[in-house]
A = this chain, B = another copy of it.
Amino acid sequence: MLVPGKEKLERMRDGRVVYIGSERVDDVTRHPAFRHGAQTIAALFDFKAEAAHRDLLSFEENGERYGLYWLRCRTREDLTRRMRALKALADSTYGLMGRSPDHVAGTVTGLAMNPAVLESLHPGFGENLTRYYDYARREDLYLSYAVTPPSGIRSRELFPGQQRDEPSLQVTAEDDTGVTLSGMKMLATGAVFADEIWVGNLTAIDANRLKESITCAVPVNAPGVSLWAREPYERHVRHEADYPLSYRYDETDSVFVCNNVKVPWERVFLHNNGTMSRQIYIDTPANCYANHQSNVRFWAKMGLIVGLASRMVEANGLDRIPAVRDTLGRLAALEATIGGLVNGQIEAYEEWPRGFACPNRRIMYATLNWCQEHHTEIIDVLRTLAGGLPLQMPASIDVLTEPTLADQFGRWWSTPSIEATRRLKLYKLVWDLIGSEFAGRHMLYEKFYAGHSVIVRNQSDREAPWGRFHAIVDDLIARIETPAVG
């Protein structure tokens, strides 16, 4: 089923509990803090459901049509096709929505390529997963996830013996019907717009933290669930032109809070196994499928960045200065770098698990590392190209509504290269990528969405063929002659 945007918006009006500070949000589709974000999500569903995009964005299996990001790839061609769908979706939101519906779908699809991993831990749980995968893609669900314990918890180990209420989400009771959850998980991006939340652990937890290993799916409006949103950036924008990205592309982040939330067994996929609660994403293509989407999304964002850099220096009449062209050439090279890395994952794809195709894992992790290492600097290049100009624009496009100001603005803010209103829109757009709070959140997000750099590099360490690398050195050394004693 390919759900149209209108229906997706309906689904968001399901009584979900969302707080902005102390304010309870009634309806995210109408609230000034969320409504345009909701529409952006809805637009993604419309985009996918459109007949013209049928081949690009969906596939058929057993007579049913599904979003292409649910495809369990079996060939290189499948991977190429899936990647193109991810790219088209990311392009449509300029790579600004990190946890768009194709992200967690990748996680679940990856698990569904090898449900035996779950089944072997607990009979029935693998089947639960397969059923959930079928259900989610059939219903065209938008899944978000909450997969990190609250920070500061590790200090418990450092300062043992202190009693305190335990905020980590965990199973507090279980019975024949299912488990009961209480506690919180960090930063369910997109959750206020999603249908369900995937709960689990993407980072390693202590093997003995059994109760916290729970891995399951929870509808956003489940009784006891509340979402504590960080400041929504859309909220104070009065004119789209003033903050064009904040206005539409704030995917939102929320702390996922559970107070005695009941989850039936059929939605439980792992229980009482701290180590495996993270390992399942590594032992299946789950982690790779999800982060491959992140790679593709970053690529889409680079398109916007490179385009903006060029349009901006044109607007300023600086685009023929050699040092500026050098910078533009470099940015274009970086766009091709991330594109090359995405393509390289497909060329060097792995036949894994048996019968399936997975983007090359080492290259995928290397791409994560590349993105993480370069985002701050790339945005800083944009900042340097922008100069003080974003701050030289009037505070709001509403200057146009006052004839005297509008006249003066039109005459004095125009340049030989660009007319004042377009110039304002251009620099406000740039500002929303380099200076606004929306931009500030992206600076943090790109640094941490896949975990701290230590985690990202650890993935590359883990997957590295050290034996092969060592053999290079050992063979070289073995050939070196040793002079005889005496």
Contact = CB atoms under 8 A, between A and B. Distances in A.
B384 A447 contact: yes
B437 A436 contact: yes
**Highest count of chain B CB atoms <10 Å: which of A158, A388, A452:** A388
Interface in A165-212: 165, 167, 183-184, 186-187
Contact of A429 (B183, B341, B476): B476
Interface in A293-312: 303-304, 306-308, 310-311
Given A317-B155, A366-B337, A398-B483, A412 B165 contact: yes
B333 A416 contact: no
Contact of A311 (B367, B454, B470): B470
A351 interface: no
A147 to B, nearest CB: 12
Given A308-B473, A342-B344, A151 B485 contact: no
A451 to B, nearest CB: 10
A366 B317 contact: no
Given A152-B317, A476-B94, A483-B397, A186 B388 contact: yes
Given A22-B405, A239-B483, A421-B482, A345 B337 contact: no
Contacts of A471: 307
Contact of A150 (B21, B329, B392, B418): B392
Given A21-B395, A94-B472, A384-B447, A316 B152 contact: yes
B400 A485 contact: yes
* Chain A, interface SS category: helix
Interface stretch (A2-10, A48-56, A115-123, A318-326): A318-326
Interface string A401-443: 1110110100111111110011101100101001111011101
Contacts of A241: 480-483
Instruction: Please list the 10 inter-chain residue pairs (A to B) with the smallest Cβ-Cβ separation, ordered nearest first.
Output: A155-B317, A21-B396, A435-B440, A329-B461, A152-B415, A340-B344, A329-B457, A344-B344, A340-B363, A332-B464
